[in-house]
């Protein structure tokens, strides 16, 4: 079945820095979703993308739906300590298909 690749597994950045993470697939997706999960909590939807090439912002977060429909990018600008957590991408291949999740990237922010 479809798989979403997120790497590296962990990222370490300094407070104030920008960070970029991507999510790739070997197959086409119709929807890309980005979630953030804090320890012991459920994932929270950050940004949803529904159209190839779409660029959407949510505060300091910006995400893009890749033109090829096989990838998506999430950028966090001017990181702050509360940005720590696990960032998951998820993709929907289309009608009558289940949502596919990446394994997540754990982000650490050094003050």
Partner 1 sequence: DGGITQSPKYLFRKEGQNVTLSCEQNLNHDAMYWYRQDPGQGLRLIYYSQIVNDFQKGDIAEGYSVSREKKESFPLTVTSAQKNPTAFYLCASSRAGLAGGTDTQYFGPGTRLTVL
| Interface with partner 1, residue 31, by CB under 8 A | yes
| Interface with partner 1, residue 65, by CB under 8 A | no
Q: Which residue has the tokens 């050094």?
A: 110
String of contacts with partner 1 for each residue 8-27, x by CB under 8 A: -x------------------
| 8 preceded by a cis bond (ω within 30 of 0) | yes
Q: Which residue has the tokens 């990838």?
A: 71
| Interface with partner 1, residue 45, by CB under 8 A | yes
Q: Which of 8, 26, 42, 59 binds partner 1 (CB under 8 A)?
A: 42
**What does the block give as tokens for 84?**
């720590």
Pairing of strands 100-101, 85-92: antiparallel
Distance CA(80)–CA(25), nearest Å, equals 29
| Interface with partner 1, residue 2, by CB under 8 A | no
Contact footprint for partner 1 (CB under 8 A): 9, 30-31, 33, 35, 40-45, 48, 50, 88, 90, 92, 94-99, 101-104
């Amino acid at each position: 079945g479809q798989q979403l690749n997120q790497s590296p597994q962990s990222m370490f950045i300094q407070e104030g820095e920008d960070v970029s993470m991507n999510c790739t697939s070997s197959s086409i997706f119709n929807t890309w979703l980005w979630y953030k999960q804090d320890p012991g909590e459920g994932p929270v939807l950050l940004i949803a993308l529904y159209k190839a090439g779409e660029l959407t912002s949510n505060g300091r977060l910006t995400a893009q739906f890749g033109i090829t429909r096989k990838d998506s990018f999430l950028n966090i600008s001017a990181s702050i300590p509360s940005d720590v957590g696990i960032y998951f991408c998820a993709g929907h291949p289309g009608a009558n298909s289940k949502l596919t999740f990446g394994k997540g990237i754990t982000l650490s922010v050094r003050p």
